Amino acid sequence: MINEQNKHKSKMQKYKKAVDKGISKASKNKNLVIVLTGNGKGKSTSAFGMVMRSLGYGHKVGIIQFIKGQQKTGEEIYISKYHPEVFLYQMNTGFTWNSQDKDNDIKAAENTWQKAKDLLQNPKIDLVVLDEITYMLNYKYLDTQDVIHAIQNRPANQSVILTGRMACQELTNIADTVSIIQDEKHAFKSGIKARKGIDL
């Protein structure tokens, strides 16, 4: 038993040493570009988790959602009720595969991008979330270089989170953190309906 405890202690000490070494190496202070991509669940919810963290510190947040579902989401209800100071704009064409009107979608994407650009030029905003933007680039509704340029030229105090499946190489190249969320299992695929507070 004592031997077991000693083994555990020495393992943890080694682990702590490695973690501390990593922490001491991270000496740079800069704001981030974070890409959350992949087919698994947890991209937008992770972004909203960081919104919550930011708000905890009194940071100013702007959120642009490039694809909006037909139904209101919990985060939308929460923000309008408890954090009306957060700028939240949604492209209101519904899911693109529902709208089936390409010209209208492109117009909506461009208008929505204009709002995103305003945030990316505003030094008062500390965190910008561009939710589901990857689709706008993949469908070529927006110009990738224009988006990259705006992100790279944002104010130094600002971090940006981009979400959506199949993030293109241009986005991952400029990101500091890229998470590819893998789809191992999803309740929806076994016939379970989207749940309020979990999926919506």
Q: Please, which residues bridge with residue 130 across strands?
A: 64, 162
Least Å distance, CB 64 to ligand ATP, is: 14
Q: Does 78 bind ligand ATP (CB under 6 A)?
A: no
Q: Tell me the CA distances in angstroms from 95 to 90, 92, 109, 125, one per residue in order.
A: 11, 9, 12, 27
Q: List the single partner that 194 binds among ligand ATP, Mg ion, none, CB under 5 to 8 Å by kind.
A: ligand ATP
Distance CA 128, CA 11 (A): 40
Smallest separation, CB 20 to ligand ATP (Å): 33
Judged by CB under 6 A, the residue of 37, 44, 65, 93 near ligand ATP is 44
Residues 44-63 that bind Mg ion (CB under 5 A): 44
Collapsed DSSP state (helix, strand, coil) of residue 107: helix
Based on the shown chain and the rule CB under 5 A, indicate whether residue 68 belongs to the binding site for Mg ion.
Answer: no
Q: Which of residues 116-155 bind ligand ATP (CB under 6 A)?
A: 132
| H or E segment to which residue 131 belongs | strand 127-131
Q: What residue 199 binds from ligand ATP, Mg ion, none (CB within 5 to 8 A, per partner kind)?
A: ligand ATP
**Separation CA 89–CA 101 (nearest Å):** 21
Q: Please tell me whether residue 154 binds Mg ion under the rule CB under 5 A.
A: no
With binding defined as CB under 6 A, does residue 94 bind ligand ATP?
no
Q: Which does 76 bind (CB under 5 to 8 A by kind): Mg ion, ligand ATP, none?
A: none
The SS3 assignment for 84 reads coil
Are the beta carbons of 96 and 105 closer than 8 angstroms? yes
- Contacting residues toward Mg ion, per CB under 5 A: 43-44
